[in-house]
Structure 1
Amino acid sequence: MLAWLCAPLVNAAALPDFTELVEETSPAVVNISTVSRSEQSLSTPFGQFEFHGPQGEDVPEIFRHFFRDMPQFREGPRKAPRSLGSGFIISSDGYILTNHHVIKDAEEVLVRLNDRRELQAEVIGSDERTDVALLRIDARDLPVVKKGRSADLKVGEWVLAIGSPFGFDHSVTAGIVSATERALANETYVPFIQTDVAINPGNSGGPLFNLEGEVVGINSQIYTRSGGFMGLSFAIPIDVAMDVADQLKNQGFVQRGWLGVIIQEVNRDLAESFGLKKPAGALVAKVLPGSPAQSGGLQEGDVILKLNGKSVELSSDLPPLVGRIKPGQTARLEVMRSGRREVVELVIGTMPDEEQQASRTADKPAETGRLGLVVAPLDPTLKDKWAISSGVMVQQVMEGAGLQAGLVRGDVITMLNGQRIETVEQFEQVASSLPEGRSVPLRIVRRGSPLFIALKIE
């Protein structure tokens, strides 16, 4: 009986006490507002915030009153301050980190300090790809955050966020690290920290602290279907953010490494077709013309397994690794090529603003009964449109290996079993010599997008 009564006390004692941490760190956390042409709804990083509850019902009067009194909701578009997000001071002479989307398109940026002072901030620089912005205010002897190492974070570790959700300054929420180096759609250069810390509009740009009171990330995004917090929050690692901030401060822009390939995930069937024991790596679906990858001898069909000794388990692991390498440095890639492990060394380039493309030619139509396909020479207009140098077009898909592999009419076959396809005759020759009962890689271009699929003749 006594043990049962003591159990809750033991568990409670094991939970962290955040009070001292909050007292020490909150003075360096700021609220950020912008001045621009405001609308009648609040623009947030999660979309337009409107006056409705989750089921469309009216919001309680206290919240309607709170938002209605805020300047951004008065009638008519006019210049007015909008409370958009948070930030934190990284140097006593006024440098502040926040998100790019918090200050994007702002005519004026205002920073409200913990002591209630409001100061106009200068945007030193901003990087959309990593969603990091560096500001500076004219002030001295400011409180600053302690910077930690996001690389040292462990899943299950306690973390704490301070920010201004919905304009409620210095709100504190806590949770644990759910995952590290999480890749998100369209966010290829940031290995996000995933947490279950409650984050809402207004928290964006605010700090994520570990239990030592060190900043380990910048709260940036949430996954939501309702517009509010659903248990999935994502922070930019402080290691990434500080590298970006240093470049913005020193040169006003960010340079990141560029390989010049289009990659895809390796599934179980593709792993078998490429001679891998398990699905792993980043499969090179396309090498861009004039890219460092092309100059260094990387080939379509290569599976990149390691970069400078670091394993590439998922295709999403590769872009952040490449992006962190300084342009001009030599990179060592371990690849699986034609069933053998090889090493490719190449010089990393600078990420261009626009990627270039290239093209070439083909010839006559025929039926490949073994695969259940009717193929024809590639239309020259598609070569230019989709930047395809060679290949054959699928005109018809019948019963057979092609249908089972998921081929559809209009696909362009550019490589089969490691051999580049130049003509219809060559395609027939390669198809006739394919082994039975084993998956082989097939590279196609579908509506302009390169893709590898596994083809198996039963």
Structure 2
Amino acid sequence: MTNPADLPKIPPQKKPRGLLSMRKFALMASVVAGLGAAAYGLSTPYATDAFVSPAHAQVNKDVRQVQQPIGFADIVERVKPSVISVRVRIEEKQTADNNDDLPFPPGSPMERFFRRFGGPDGFPGGPGGRRGRGNLVTGQGSGFFISADGYAVTNNHVVDGADKVEVTTDDGKTYKAKVIGTDKRTDLALIKVEGGSNFPFAKLSDGEPRIGDWVLAVGNPFGLGGTVTAGIVSARGRDIGNGPYDDFIQIDAPVNKGNSGGPAFDTAGEVIGVNTAIYSPSGGSVGIAFSIPSATVKNVVAQLKDKGTVSRGWIGVQIQPVTQEIADSLGLKKAEGALVAEPQTNGPAAKAGIESGDVINKVNDQPVKDARELARTIGGMAPGASIKLGVLHKGSEKTLTLTLGELPNAKSIKTGFNDNDNGPGRNGNGSDVPNLGLTVAPAKSVAGAGKEGVVITNVNPDGASAERGLKEGDVILEVAGKSVATADDIRNELNIARADKKNSVLIRVRSGDSSRFVALPVGKG
């Protein structure tokens, strides 16, 4: 019998080197392809659909269809030629740097935080980055064409008061320009570039950006060929304390110095806003900027082109926000609407029957969120238009119809009482209202205080009144809707409020020529 160990051994069959089974090949190809795709942010390209399940194939197809292009080169190439550098020259005697067109006192925290940006040295250095040399002040900013015949948009603070305006286009050519009109309230200006008729121009967007949308800030700050930064829309309707028409788009992007007046583009290449300010606690960009919405730009530019100025609707009231305390005092469920502090004599609102203490909560049947929204809504309407106002008057809803007047271009604002020995609040006389932390005297007994109400002669710095901004010289006209002439009148209204189990009482206060409402806690009797 043959011993198996003596049989000749047959060597095992070896696979040729470099060859894999089809199954292993498909698996390894998928893995390798997936790793490569992940490195470049692409969908995974399989070797062949024969090795992919139908479900996986559909997923990969969907991913490829929704992918967005990487980078903004195509958009920038299309829109950048419409952006210009704007240079101004002003002859003036005053050569010191000034910030007169800014809403904040020089050196104040707000002035440091919210800065205009535009100029050779950026901000500080005056409006539009202006600098004084002898009797010549120069400034630099950006802008963009809105029509082929040379109309362009920039900021008011870039060209305000300019004697000479020059623009440099993206291809390096320089042209003279003239200012067609400016609007300080929105910080917009329209200029007309001379010497051309076929300029590349940008389109103002008809829509509103969404929070999270991409945005490109493009400028040509120094005529060096332009600058582009990218970011996202992080908020709309921002109020930075610039004025009653604040309605800025906040974009989180490192907007460069000199971009003031330049456009902010969406990914369709349309202008969603005009860059006007940056948040700058350090003096440079920290990546937060503010743009004027395209809807506002359209409205203002159309009027500037037509007549060189902007007309706004006006109802003639002093208004203030409805705080939660004020809402509680008025018995409102929500802190919404605009509280009328005082209607102007013979103004449209007064003629229609609106009174102090009324709350305007609708315009043409559309809800009014707050006082600033009311100001923007009315300001965006044409003088002479007939409108309906929804008003809450002493707890009852009513609708009033009125014709809008025209907002005055400038208002004379008196400073109020003089700081002298005969003025209110300086003689120390009066009766105490301890619950409010006040000492008051009849207004008619104090020189310069007028004939109505009681004047505040002393304020407890630790009291509720001081916390809410009341000061010596303010005149209390009403408490809980009732006129007051003595300290006893105030005490009586406080007692009534306590009996009604109210936590606070609404008082109307006059400071100089302005009136406002303040909600004060009733306190214990």
Normalising by structure 2, we get a TM-score of 0.71
Question: Could you tell me which residue of structure 2 aligns to residue 95 of structure 1?
Answer: 151
Deviates more, 1:261-270 or 1:95-104: 261-270
**Is the CA contact 2:474–2:511 (under 8 Å) kept in the aligned structure 1?**
yes
Deviates more, 1:19-28 or 1:399-408: 399-408
Task: Give the Å deviation of 1:204.
Answer: 0.7
Question: Could you tell me which residue of structure 2 aligns to residue 250 of structure 1?
Answer: 306
What are the residue-to-residue correspondences of 1:335-350 with 2, within 5 Å? 335-350=391-406
What secondary structure sits across from 1:152 in the alignment? coil
- 1:80-118 Cα deviation digits (max 9, x unpaired): 8x4611111111111111111111121110011122221
Give the counterpart letter for 2:199 in structure 1: L
**Is the CA contact 2:248–2:290 (under 8 Å) kept in the aligned structure 1?**
yes
Q: Which whole-Å CA distance do the structure 1 matches of 2:184 and 2:465 have between them?
A: 41
Identical aligned residues as a percent: 36
Give the counterpart letter for 2:292 in structure 1: I
Distance 1:287 1:176, change over 3 A: same
Question: Could you tell me which residue of structure 1 aligns to residue 289 of structure 2?
Answer: 233
Distance 1:74 1:338, change over 3 A: closer
Distance 1:424 1:290, change over 3 A: farther
Distance 1:42 1:345, change over 3 A: same
What are the residue-to-residue correspondences of 1:107-118 with 2, within 5 Å? 107-118=163-174
**Is the CA contact 1:205–1:218 (under 8 Å) kept in the aligned structure 2?**
yes
Distance 1:103 1:74, change over 3 A: closer
Question: Could you tell me which residue of structure 1 aligns to residue 52 of structure 2?
Answer: none
Question: Could you tell me which residue of structure 1 aligns to residue 516 of structure 2?
Answer: 451
Deviates more, 1:31-40 or 1:282-291: 31-40
Question: Could you tell me which residue of structure 2 aligns to residue 189 of structure 1?
Answer: 245
Give the counterpart letter for 1:147 in structure 2: L
Q: Which whole-Å CA distance do the structure 1 matches of 2:130 and 2:517 have between them?
A: 51
- 1:297-352 Cα deviation digits (max 9, x unpaired): 22221222222233332322222111101011122222333233332322211011
**Is the CA contact 2:244–2:372 (under 8 Å) kept in the aligned structure 1?**
yes
Question: Could you tell me which residue of structure 2 aligns to residue 382 of structure 1?
Answer: 448
Task: Give the Å deviation of 1:161.
Answer: 1.2
Task: Pick from 75, 79, 82 the counterpart of residue 25 of structure 1.
Answer: 79
**Is the CA contact 1:271–1:279 (under 8 Å) kept in the aligned structure 2?**
yes
Task: Give the Å deviation of 1:123.
Answer: 1.1
- 1:240-292 Cα deviation digits (max 9, x unpaired): 11211111111121111112222222222111111222222222222222322
Question: Could you tell me which residue of structure 2 aligns to residue 393 of structure 1?
Answer: 455
Distance 1:401 1:209, change over 3 A: closer
Task: Pick from 120, 137, 144 the counterpart of residue 193 of structure 2.
Answer: 137
Give the counterpart letter for 2:198 in structure 1: D
**Is the CA contact 1:289–1:356 (under 8 Å) kept in the aligned structure 2?**
no
Q: Which whole-Å CA distance do the structure 2 matches of 1:347 and 1:142 have between them?
A: 42
Question: Could you tell me which residue of structure 2 aligns to residue 290 of structure 1?
Answer: 346
Q: Which whole-Å CA distance do the structure 1 matches of 2:517 and 2:323 have between them?
A: 10
Task: Give the Å deviation of 1:43.
Answer: 8.5
- 1:348-396 Cα deviation digits (max 9, x unpaired): 110113437899xxxx975657766543211475356xxxx72112345
Q: Which whole-Å CA distance do the structure 2 matches of 1:368 and 1:32 have between them?
A: 59
Normalising by structure 1, we get a TM-score of 0.81
What are the residue-to-residue correspondences of 1:356-375 with 2, within 5 Å? 373-375=438-440
Q: Which whole-Å CA distance do the structure 2 matches of 1:22 and 1:74 have between them?
A: 31
Task: Give the Å deviation of 1:235.
Answer: 0.8
**Is the CA contact 2:170–2:220 (under 8 Å) kept in the aligned structure 1?**
no
Task: Give the Å deviation of 1:234.
Answer: 0.8
Say whether 1:265 aligns with 2:330. no
Say whether 1:279 aligns with 2:325. no
Question: Could you tell me which residue of structure 2 aligns to residue 58 of structure 1?
Answer: none
**Is the CA contact 2:90–2:164 (under 8 Å) kept in the aligned structure 1?**
yes
Distance 1:202 1:310, change over 3 A: farther
* Unpaired runs of at least 5, structure 2: 1-30, 44-66, 105-119, 122-128, 417-428
Deviates more, 1:322-331 or 1:253-262: 253-262
Q: Which whole-Å CA distance do the structure 1 matches of 2:282 and 2:251 have between them?
A: 18
What secondary structure sits across from 2:411 in the alignment? coil
What secondary structure sits across from 2:147 in the alignment? coil
Q: Which whole-Å CA distance do the structure 2 matches of 1:320 and 1:228 have between them?
A: 30
What are the residue-to-residue correspondences of 1:288-327 with 2, within 5 Å? 288-327=344-383
Give the counterpart letter for 2:228 in structure 1: V
- 1:36-75 Cα deviation digits (max 9, x unpaired): 349999999999xxxxxxxxxxxxxxx99xxxxxxx9999
Return the index of the structure with the highest Cα Rg.
Answer: 2
What are the residue-to-residue correspondences of 1:134-173 with 2, within 5 Å? 134-138=190-194, 139-149=196-206, 151-165=207-221, 168-173=224-229
Give the counterpart letter for 2:318 in structure 1: I
Question: Could you tell me which residue of structure 1 aligns to residue 88 of structure 2?
Answer: 34
**Is the CA contact 2:249–2:293 (under 8 Å) kept in the aligned structure 1?**
yes
What secondary structure sits across from 2:85 in the alignment? strand
Q: Which whole-Å CA distance do the structure 1 matches of 2:249 and 2:266 have between them?
A: 12
For these two proteins, the number of residue pairs brought into alignment is 426
Deviates more, 1:431-440 or 1:122-131: 431-440
Distance 1:43 1:230, change over 3 A: farther
What secondary structure sits across from 1:255 in the alignment? coil
Task: Give the Å deviation of 1:419.
Answer: 2.3
Q: Which whole-Å CA distance do the structure 2 matches of 1:73 and 1:456 have between them?
A: 49
Task: Give the Å deviation of 1:402.
Answer: 6.0
**Is the CA contact 2:436–2:521 (under 8 Å) kept in the aligned structure 1?**
no
**Is the CA contact 1:31–1:83 (under 8 Å) kept in the aligned structure 2?**
no
Distance 1:262 1:10, change over 3 A: farther
Distance 1:208 1:152, change over 3 A: same
* Unpaired runs of at least 5, structure 1: 48-62, 65-71
Question: Could you tell me which residue of structure 1 aligns to residue 479 of structure 2?
Answer: 416
Q: Quote the RMSD (CA, aligned, Å).
A: 3.7
Give the counterpart letter for 1:142 in structure 2: F
**Is the CA contact 2:505–2:521 (under 8 Å) kept in the aligned structure 1?**
yes
Distance 1:425 1:330, change over 3 A: farther
What secondary structure sits across from 1:325 in the alignment? coil
Task: Give the Å deviation of 1:456.
Answer: 3.1
Give the counterpart letter for 1:412 in structure 2: V
Structure with a larger share of its residues in strand: 1
Question: Could you tell me which residue of structure 2 aligns to residue 53 of structure 1?
Answer: none
Question: Could you tell me which residue of structure 1 aligns to residue 256 of structure 2?
Answer: 200
Task: Pick from 489, 493, 514 the counterpart of residue 430 of structure 1.
Answer: 493
